[in-house]
Structure 1
């Protein structure tokens, strides 16, 4: 007899079934606590839903969807005001402003779903595809038309699991790689890491550390994050508004809610120069991985003190000391992350436009809108 599957779309974590966290046990980014952060402190142009897949009465799959409205976001950044950018922004808002993402647009990596061993990956993905139609119908009732539907991010072998009729209209795209730093078992401290660097990159480490000798690094508590609330937001926007591509901006209380909900699984480090907060970075503990999260800094001090590079070294030192296996450095700043030892891992996604004819042009249009980054991969080790 054919198994009977059903879907439930939740808009509040209060309604999630009690078994939810059992399926999320290997990924904090699908846990109730994390999803509650999105519920309370998602970007203002984002609406999140939580997807439960049931086999008969049993919860066998969980996932996350994010609706993003690009209308009020300067998606292409502030650095280029030429006519071509104006055209791109116009087309963005007219043709692809309403985006439904299955997965998490705020992270890099496979944080899309978790299935139990009682459902095949193929059947789970079919059910998620069914969920996209339910979500489109839900938004249609709110008079919101979904333009694009996206599944993200998947390793190349995993993306092949989508090769079935249900996904034949989707275009498989490849964006900037996920930068992964693998921690060697032989490393027990930052000194072991430094010893494995070749001379050029040992000198880079020493130079960066010398530049930052006058900077004090401090792990901030919830009350301290709240105390520096305005400055933190200013430093975050200094970085975010200069990014080549944006689909959202964090709301001002995002880091406070994060710390309140995840406690010591969320680490917030402030960098101070003469008692002034000049930068910060954030880390999330996720099993044997450390995921880097958002950061911010003063551009003047970043240049003078090599602040960003020092943050990367601090993340490496912490992760080695605490015996993590990997650091998920995510996208952006590919070359500098490569210079400290991170390697690029290609990730795939799937995308389709609701308009049949526009969807036929997806390959060309995606290449037009996707920012291209030229960079040189480094190998800092002996």
Structure 2
């Protein structure tokens, strides 16, 4: 019998200080109490849970973050690129417009931010304990959970995380994060541009020229507070253009993050004659700049190249912040590849709570595929340099 057992908590405030110390996870900003609290406080319509895996001495050896929320069936089918025939069968199968999903991982952030296992833990036994605990939570009738979705794991983690398939989860390849490496190659934005092939350098310069009239300003706590309704509107504009978004983020979250992280959390506004027409956001974590949500006024986007300028500025910020990588996140993968970003593949695991239902759904899950994109090669070869 395993000496590990789990404790399920409804708020990050219930995690004891000695448990944080035992985990030693707060050097990773995504497993930091202040970050969990920022999301919790601003999004009280979402049910947040935390699983602590404890050893026989009651010391925490792992933590997993969960969110439980309803998702539209139609938006899931659209995002996962099912055929019309399969979409119809799924709609008939669920017989309701929404399913309640238990997410393990941060539903608002792309990447491996759901499970942290301490260096002194038995990783295999820990994942087994987590799997059993997640199953127990999913069968709590008061929560009304239909589907469990465990996200997002990189290639090097799959030797461990593929244990989930033993619990009848289906493995899914999802849209990759797009990563631009800055180390050893360039020391400045100008040097970076000089290494681009001509047509890609022209593209970068054109976006900068068309957006030259825009004033960019870093937003501090007071600016975020005063501009919050506009930031929320621009963010929701952008979300409405995407096929799928699990939930709308209340951007008071960003106000909380700015309070807690100051210069590590960035929001930059784009102004046209003092009118906010766009913004970018990002978080610095262990020498990596992670792009978070952006907001765009699409009435001005084409004329002033707001989105291409935002992508250029993420690269600029990477140099200014002296990070080693810029993680552009997922979506718009082809456009991001024109800046030199390459895909970092991610895997998720999904199952229906009920075993028989899950058995019927497995063939559908196996047909899920992401839309392919063209991967550009914008950097000069040695011969061209």
TM-score, normalised to structure 2, is 0.89
Structure-to-structure mapping, 1:226-237, within 5 angstroms: 226-237=225-236
Matched position secondary structure for 2:65: strand
Q: Across the two proteins, how many residue pairs are aligned to each other?
A: 374
Structure-to-structure mapping, 1:169-318, within 5 angstroms: 169-318=168-317
What CA distance in whole angstroms lies between the structure 2 residues aligned with 1:174 and 1:95?
25
Q: Is 1:126–1:166's contact at 8 Å kept on the other side of the alignment?
A: no
Task: Compute the displacement of 1:241 (Å).
Answer: 1.3
Structure-to-structure mapping, 1:1-382, within 5 angstroms: 4-18=3-17, 19-20=19-20, 22-42=23-43, 44=45, 46-56=46-56, 57-70=58-71, 94=96, 97-137=99-139, 139-140=140-141, 142=142, 144-164=143-163, 167-366=166-365, 372-382=370-380
What CA distance in whole angstroms lies between the structure 2 residues aligned with 1:315 and 1:291?
9
Task: Compute the displacement of 1:166 (Å).
Answer: 7.2
Task: Compute the displacement of 1:86 (Å).
Answer: 8.7
Task: Compute the displacement of 1:112 (Å).
Answer: 1.8
Distance 1:24 1:153, change over 3 A: same
What CA distance in whole angstroms lies between the structure 2 residues aligned with 1:192 and 1:215?
24
Distance 1:269 1:86, change over 3 A: farther
What stretches of structure 1 of length at least 5 have no aligned partner? none
Task: Compute the displacement of 1:284 (Å).
Answer: 0.5
What CA distance in whole angstroms lies between the structure 2 residues aligned with 1:3 and 1:371?
37
Task: Compute the displacement of 1:321 (Å).
Answer: 2.6
Q: Is 1:20–1:62's contact at 8 Å kept on the other side of the alignment?
A: no
What CA distance in whole angstroms lies between the structure 2 residues aligned with 1:108 and 1:136?
23
Task: Compute the displacement of 1:182 (Å).
Answer: 1.0
Between 116-125 and 94-103, the greater mean CA deviation after superposition:
94-103
Q: Is 1:70–1:93's contact at 8 Å kept on the other side of the alignment?
A: no
Task: Compute the displacement of 1:210 (Å).
Answer: 0.7
Task: Compute the displacement of 1:75 (Å).
Answer: 5.7
Q: Is 1:23–1:61's contact at 8 Å kept on the other side of the alignment?
A: no
> Aligned-pair RMSD on alpha carbons?
2.7
Distance 1:53 1:169, change over 3 A: same
What stretches of structure 2 of length at least 5 have no aligned partner? 381-385
1:139-167 deviation line (CA, Å, top 9, x unaligned): 42x2x321111211111342232344873
Between 181-190 and 67-76, the greater mean CA deviation after superposition:
67-76
Between 60-69 and 331-340, the greater mean CA deviation after superposition:
60-69
Task: Compute the displacement of 1:204 (Å).
Answer: 0.8
Task: Compute the displacement of 1:366 (Å).
Answer: 3.2
What CA distance in whole angstroms lies between the structure 2 residues aligned with 1:371 and 1:258?
34
Q: Is 1:77–1:242's contact at 8 Å kept on the other side of the alignment?
A: no
Q: Is 1:201–1:339's contact at 8 Å kept on the other side of the alignment?
A: yes
Q: Is 2:281–2:293's contact at 8 Å kept on the other side of the alignment?
A: yes
What CA distance in whole angstroms lies between the structure 2 residues aligned with 1:160 and 1:236?
37
What CA distance in whole angstroms lies between the structure 2 residues aligned with 1:251 and 1:313?
26
Distance 1:170 1:72, change over 3 A: closer
Matched position secondary structure for 1:330: coil
Matched position secondary structure for 1:181: strand
What CA distance in whole angstroms lies between the structure 1 residues aligned with 2:356 and 2:249?
34
Distance 1:153 1:197, change over 3 A: same
Task: Compute the displacement of 1:363 (Å).
Answer: 4.2
Distance 1:207 1:159, change over 3 A: same
Distance 1:13 1:43, change over 3 A: closer
Task: Compute the displacement of 1:372 (Å).
Answer: 4.1
Distance 1:104 1:252, change over 3 A: closer
